[in-house]
DNA sequence: ATCGTTTATCGCCGATGGACGATGAGTGAC
DNA sequence: GTCACTCATCGTCCATCGGCGATAAACGAT
């Protein structure tokens, strides 16, 4: 009944905009410097197994695996098991989509001025 | 000595790229649905005092104040005390800058393919 | 079968985030 | 002055994040 976007801490799922929650969730996956660096590394490399990322950064294997999992769950990185390795690759379309969402948000904010 | 981007959990401050930490920090400010909605509201309104935001969303005044503070500290919203009110306004330039940073990141990732 | 490698997951822990209510300061109206 | 209103901040609570080491599973090689 309320016309407010929140109902006790939860956003309404109005069928209108790209849903602030979805945008926020994907931005959250990008809001950690390690994950940004990992994304850059994935884009520069083509092997992209977990171990390679671990070798490149001073982070424990478990930590890297966790970051990769977050990126995969956010849909920004695709995962494909390959023998005993795990192949991680950037989902360029998804990444472009996030960028577009943010640009759209910014534009909507600027149009209101 | 290390050529790795991290040195025991801290990013090197290489004088090169837009610094993943800075980008991550600003994206973190955007990675909460309430703050996205608040930004949208600020862009659609021109009064933009804290109370108005409180009235619009089902959030406690202290919670809204905290969200606004985060947006201000991230440099995305400008703050100006006005009598007993507090005037909040979107910093369009900063917002555009964040969007540009993300776009640049995405582009750099796509160029590497 | 055994070893080495790679990976995901678990448990733990300190730090942070996000919500709230309560409080106090500041302002305007009376 | 007092009252009402607005706001920032404090303290508290709980959940999540982000790091690590340890462990177990899966696979390749010997």
- CATH 1.10.10.10 applies to domain A21-111: yes
Judge contact between A26 and A75, C-beta under 8 A. Answer: yes
Alpha carbons B68 and B51: distance in angstroms, whole number: 11
The first and second tokens of residue A30, run together, are: 């990008």
Mapping DSSP to helix (H, G, I), strand (E, B) and coil, where does residue B104 land? helix
Q: Where are the domains of chain A?
A: 21-111
Relative to beta strand B77-82, strand A10-11 is unpaired
For chain B, state the CA radius of gyration: 17
What dotted CATH number matches B33-103?
A: 1.10.10.10
Residues of B within 8 A of A42 (CB-CB) are: 109
* For testing contact with chain B, the best of A40, A99, A101, A108 (most B CBs within 10 A): A99
Identify the pLDDT of residue B11. Answer: 46
Q: Which of A44-53, A83-92, B36-45 has the lowest mean pLDDT?
A: A44-53
Write out pLDDT tens, residues A16-72. Answer: 566 899 999 999 999 999 999 999 999 998 779 999 999 999 999 999 999 999 999
CA dist list (Å): A91 to A36, A45, B29: 14, 14, 24
């Amino acid at each position: 009944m309320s016309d407010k976007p929140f109902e006790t801490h939860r956003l309404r799922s109005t069928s209108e905009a790209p849903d602030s929650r979805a945008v926020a969730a994907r931005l959250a996956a990008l809001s950690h410097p390690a994950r940004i660096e990992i994304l850059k590394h994935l884009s520069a490399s083509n092997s992209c197994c977990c171990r390679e990322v671990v070798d490149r950064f001073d982070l424990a294997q478990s930590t890297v695996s966790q970051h990769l999992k977050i990126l995969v769950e956010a849909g920004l990185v695709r995962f494909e098991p390959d023998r005993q390795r795990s192949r991680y690759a950037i989902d360029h379309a998804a990444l472009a989509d996030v960028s577009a969402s943010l640009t759209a948000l910014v534009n909507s904010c600027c149009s209101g001025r």
